[in-house]
Structures are given as structure tokens and as C-alpha cells.
């Protein structure tokens, strides 16, 4: 029985750096299990391509099994994003985790993860926040680590710390950071190029194996989504909202004339644009207390090795859904989570002018 390494990912879209990561993940003979965000990603934006297209691209680039990280974990901050992905990876039998990292230094990241979970870290965070009286959580986080002599290389290092903490809780013990490739555009840079009208130029920056697949796929218009959040903040929020951030977003929306003005004014010194979008998206879709971890996942793509992983996982009685009928035996918590994830699918379908229920009728790519 081969070992399985997990990759928590978005592949939005997949590029040569992702393909490099997948190749390293399986270089020692491990099967590669990808737990991939569905239709909304960590920065609370819609994925460029639908989850089945992105999952097939992952298989073409070296993954063996791709399952979904459901909403809202897929669109949550680093800690909850990692917790959701690692919980699924652990229950599906992953022995290790492979992830991209600016430093590529397992000793540094393990030390940071140990310190991150300590009472001293929490005390220092409170002290620095009081001293600075503002600043985003990311900058405060890095400032506390720097006091300990731990200097991170960027956001992927920070996410790697959360992977180690959440992976340990899920029973995973081996963590393999891979230094990110240089000289390739990131997914966010590719999406920006796409939005600016250079669709063919953007596709040329994706992994070669996926380019033809992407050319035939429908892309989600980001501007349409941003406009929807603007109108939601302006028309559908109320003064009784139990969230200071939502009340602030409503105030900004009602005093902004254009979408561009709203987008420019929405972030604050303390809260990033991603955090504000996340609050609005959670409000729009009715996300609440879904529990600490996902109670199901959805099969998006698999090859023969992936089906072997899946066969072993099903014996563990964790729901891996293929079609809507598979939801019948779910418990009430899982059914609530599935309904919320389905609302996220419906929103993405609406944004891309698809009929209702389009993803209820879709099925996984099987190689």
C-alpha cells in the first residue's frame, strides 16, 4: 500500500509552480491527494474556473485524487482554511503534507508552529496590538514571530505554519515545505492579467497541460461579483446586523456612488479587503456556525491511484459525495454544511450565467 501525501490547494488557475509542487510531492512514490477549494477561495473571491475544470487540470498535472474543500472553509482565513483542508486530508488517510513555501525550511516553520500554539504567543499578540493600536493581524503575527527571531518569507510561510498545526491535530506528522519557484507568475498575477483583457497571454502563463482545457472553459467575471457585494452591502444589510464589520461595510456602501469608490474605501488599517469581502460573502450566503471542520467532501477528479485512496477512505465512513443522492445518509450537521456549499455553487453558477442546479448535475473527472 503506497503512502499518501496531501496538498491543500486552490489551483486558481494551475501554473508551472503548482505542477512543480505536484511532481515533487509524488517524486518518492507517494500518491497525491489534493484537497482543493470549491467555487470560492481564501481571499473570498470566486474561482476563475469551475471546480471540476480545475480538478481535471490538477490530474493532468500530476495529482491522483482531488476532493473539495467546501465553503465556507474554502473562503476562510488561514487558520480555518488550513483546519478544514487538513481535517479532510487526515480522515482520507494522508500520511504527510506537501506545500509551497517561500523559505522551504521545515525547521523554521516547525519552530514557528510550536511557538504559534503557545500561551506566550497569545500574550505577545495582545501586547503588540495594544502598543500599535491598529495594524492588520498579518503584520502583528509577523512582528511577534520576529521578536522570537523567526522571520517568515511571506504569506505561504504563514499558511504553512497553520498547515503544521492543523495537520498535527488531524493525525498527520510529516510536513514537507517546497520552496516556491521563481520566475513564474503567481495565480493572482495570472488572474489580474486575465481581467485586464489579456486572456490568451494569461493562459500562456498557466501549466501547459491545462491550457487547452482552460480555453474551452467559462471564466467567472470578477467585476460582476464585486458589484454584487456592493449592492448587498448597500441594499440588504441592516442596522441590526450583529457585526461591526458589516455595519461599517453598509455605511461605506451607502456613502459611495460607484463600485470603484466602494472598493477603494472598504479596507481599513486593521482589516484587509479580503477580510471585508469575506464578511460580506458570509452574510450573502448565510454562513454561520458550521462546526470546526467539514463533515463531508465532494469527489472532483481521480485516476486509478486516486480511486485506491478513495476505496480505503470509504472504509473509514467519511462521506465522499459524488452525486446529490449520496447526501441521503448524511447527519443533520453534514446536510446543513452541504446546503451551504450548494448555495456557493449556485452563486458561482449565477455569476457565470448558468442555469440553477448546474453543479448538482455535474460529475467528477475520472481518468
For the chain, give every residue range classified as CATH 3.40.50.620: 4-103+158-220+292-366
354-357 own/partner pairs: CB under 8 Å, 24+ apart: 354/218
Query: How far, in Å, CA of 293 to CA of 69, rounded?
Result: 10
Closest listed residue to residue 99, CA positions, set 13, 22, 173, 170: 22
Q: Tell me 181's DSSP state.
A: P
Q: Give pLDDT tens digits for 308-361.
A: 999 887 656 789 999 999 999 999 999 999 999 999 999 999 999 999 999 999
**Could you give phi then psi for residue 116, rounded to 5 degrees?**
-55, -35
Q: Give pLDDT tens digits for 33-88.
A: 999 999 999 999 999 999 999 999 999 999 999 999 999 999 999 999 999 999 99
Q: Would the pLDDT of 238 be above 80? A: no
Query: Which pLDDT does position 142 carry in this prediction?
Result: 87
Query: How far, in Å, CA of 190 to CA of 197, rounded?
Result: 11
Q: Are 74 and 38 in contact (CB under 8 A)?
A: yes
Query: Which pLDDT does position 255 carry in this prediction?
Result: 96
Backbone Cα Rg of the chain: 20
Set of cell numbers at residue 21 = 509542487
Closest listed residue to residue 297, CA positions, set 283, 312, 310: 310
Residue range 169-198: mean pLDDT, rounded: 94
With bands split at pLDDT 50, 70 and 90, how would you rate the model's confidence at 128?
confident
Q: Would the pLDDT of 290 be above 80? A: no
With bands split at pLDDT 50, 70 and 90, how would you rate the model's confidence at 138?
confident
Query: Which pLDDT does position 270 carry in this prediction?
Result: 83
Lowest mean pLDDT among 37-51, 134-148, 207-221: 134-148
Lowest mean pLDDT among 102-116, 132-146, 247-261, 283-297: 132-146
Query: Which pLDDT does position 316 carry in this prediction?
Result: 60
Residues in the chain: 367
Tell me the three state secondary structure of residue 301. strand
Q: Would the pLDDT of 191 be above 60? A: yes
Percentage of residues in the chain having pLDDT higher than 70? 97
Between strands 65-69 and 174-179, the pairing is unpaired
Buried b (16+ CB within 10 A) or exposed e, 76-105: bbbbbbbbbbbbbbbbbbbbbbbbbbbbbb
Please state, rounded to an integer, the average pLDDT across all residues of the chain. Answer: 93
Query: How far, in Å, CA of 188 to CA of 99, rounded?
Result: 17
Domain 4-103+158-220+292-366 has CATH 3.30.470.20: no
Amino acid at each position: 500500500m503506497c503512502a499518501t501525501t496531501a496538498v491543500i490547494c486552490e489551483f486558481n488557475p494551475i501554473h508551472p509552480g503548482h505542477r512543480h509542487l505536484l511532481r515533487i510531492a509524488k517524486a518518492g512514490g507517494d500518491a497525491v491527494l489534493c484537497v482543493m477549494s470549491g467555487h470560492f477561495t481564501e481571499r473570498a473571491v470566486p474561482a476563475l474556473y469551475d471546480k471540476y475544470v480545475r480538478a481535471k487540470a490538477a490530474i493532468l498535472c500530476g495529482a491522483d485524487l482531488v476532493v473539495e474543500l467546501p465553503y465556507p472553509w474554502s473562503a476562510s482565513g488561514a487558520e480555518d482554511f488550513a483546519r478544514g483542508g487538513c481535517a479532510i486530508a487526515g480522515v482520507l488517510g494522508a500520511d504527510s503534507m506537501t506545500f509551497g513555501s517561500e523559505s522551504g525550511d521545515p525547521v523554521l516553520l516547525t519552530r514557528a508552529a510550536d511557538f504559534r500554539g503557545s500561551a506566550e504567543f497569545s500574550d505577545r499578540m495582545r501586547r503588540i496590538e495594544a502598543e500599535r493600536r491598529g495594524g492588520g493581524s498579518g503584520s502583528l503575527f509577523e512582528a511577534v514571530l520576529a521578536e522570537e527571531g523567526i522571520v517568515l518569507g511571506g504569506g505561504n510561510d504563514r499558511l504553512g505554519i497553520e498547515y503544521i498545526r492543523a495537520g498535527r491535530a488531524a493525525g498527520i506528522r510529516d510536513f514537507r515545505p517546497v520552496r516556491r519557484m521563481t520566475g513564474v507568475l503567481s495565480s493572482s498575477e495570472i488572474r489580474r492579467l486575465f481581467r485586464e483583457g489579456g486572456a490568451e497571454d494569461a493562459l500562456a502563463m498557466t501549466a501547459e497541460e491545462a491550457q487547452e482545457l482552460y480555453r474551452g472553459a467559462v471564466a467567472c467575471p470578477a467585476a460582476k461579483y464585486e458589484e454584487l457585494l456592493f449592492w448587498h452591502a448597500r441594499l440588504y444589510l441592516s442596522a441590526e446586523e450583529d457585526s461591526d464589520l458589516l455595519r461599517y461595510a453598509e455605511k461605506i456602501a451607502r456613502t459611495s456612488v460607484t463600485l470603484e469608490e466602494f472598493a477603494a474605501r472598504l479596507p481599513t488599517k486593521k482589516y484587509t479587503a479580503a477580510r471585508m469581502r469575506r464578511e460580506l460573502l458570509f452574510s450573502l450566503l448565510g454562513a454561520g456556525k458550521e462546526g470546526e471542520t467539514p463533515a463531508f467532501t465532494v469527489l472532483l477528479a481521480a485516476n486509478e491511484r486516486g480511486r485506491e485512496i478513495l476505496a480505503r477512505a470509504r472504509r473509514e465512513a467519511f462521506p465522499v459525495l459524488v452525486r446529490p443522492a449520496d447526501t441521503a445518509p448524511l447527519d443533520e450537521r453534514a446536510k446543513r454544511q452541504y446546503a451551504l456549499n450548494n448555495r456557493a455553487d449556485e452563486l458561482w453558477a449565477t455569476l457565470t450565467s448558468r442555469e440553477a442546479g448546474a453543479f448538482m448535475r455535474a460529475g467528477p473527472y475520472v481518468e
